Amino acid sequence: MVKVAKFGGSSLANTRQFQKVKAIIEADSTRQIVVVSALGKSQVTDDKITDLLYILYAHMKHGVSYADLWQTIAARFMTVKTELGLQFPMEEALGKLYQEIQKETVSEDYLVSRGEYLTALLMSEYLGFTFVDAKEIIRYGYDGKIDYLATASQFQVYRKKYAKILVPGFYGAYPNQQIKLMSRGGSDVTGAILARVAQATLYENWTDVSGILLADPRLIDRPERVSFATYQELQELSFMGANVLHEEAILPVQEVKIPIQIKNTNCPQDPGTLISETAQTTRHNITGIAGKKGYIALVLGKRQMISEIGFLYRAMEIIKNHEIFIEYILSGYDNVAIILPKKEVELSLYQLMAELKATLHLDSLEILEDIALVVVVGRSAGKNVNLSANVLGILGAAGIDVGLVSQSTAELNIVLGVKRSDFAQTIQKLYAGLVKGGDA
Ligand code: ASP
The domains found in the chain, sorted by start residue, are: 3-208 (3.40.1160.10), 287-436 (3.30.2130.10)
Q: Which of 11, 112, 116, 123 for mutating ligand 1's site (highest number of atoms within 8 Å of CB)?
A: 116
CB atoms within 10 A of CB 65: 9
Confidence grade of residue 45 (pLDDT, cut at 50, 70, 90): confident
Q: How far is the CA of 126 from the centre of ligand 1 (A)?
A: 21
Confidence grade of residue 159 (pLDDT, cut at 50, 70, 90): very high
| Among 161, 185, 166, CA closest to 122 | 166
Asked if residue 91 lies in contact with residue 79, where contact means CB atoms within 8 angstroms, the answer is: no
> Global pTM?
0.86
Long-range pairs, 323-330, Cβ under 8 A, ≥24: 324/348, 324/352, 327/295, 327/373, 328/373, 328/404, 328/406, 328/415, 330/404, 330/405, 330/406, 330/417
Q: pLDDT tens across 108-150, in order?
A: 999 999 999 999 999 999 999 999 999 999 999 999 999 999 9
Ligand 1 atom, smallest distance to 183 CA: 9
Residues with Cβ within 8 Å of residue 67, at least 6 apart in sequence: none
Q: pLDDT tens across 187-239, in order?
A: 999 999 999 999 999 999 999 989 999 999 899 999 999 999 999 888 888 87
98 has a pLDDT exceeding 90: yes
| Among 426, 142, 152, 415, CA closest to 297 | 415
Task: Indicate which residue's Cα is closest to atom 5 of ligand 1.
Answer: 185
Q: How far is the CA of 186 from the centre of ligand 1 (A)?
A: 6
What single-letter DSSP state applies at residue 383? G
Ligand 1 environment, Cβ below 6 A: 8-9, 37-38, 48, 50, 115, 169-170, 184-188
pLDDT given at position 438: 62
Asked if residue 39 lies in contact with residue 117, where contact means CB atoms within 8 angstroms, the answer is: no
Q: How far is the CA of 309 from the centre of ligand 1 (A)?
A: 46
Task: Indicate which residue's Cα is closest to atom 8 of ligand 1.
Answer: 185
Query: Exposure of 34 by Cβ count < 10 A (0-12 exposed, 13-18 middle, 19+ buried)?
Result: buried
Ligand 1 atom, smallest distance to 185 CA: 8
Ligand 1 atom, smallest distance to 51 CA: 4
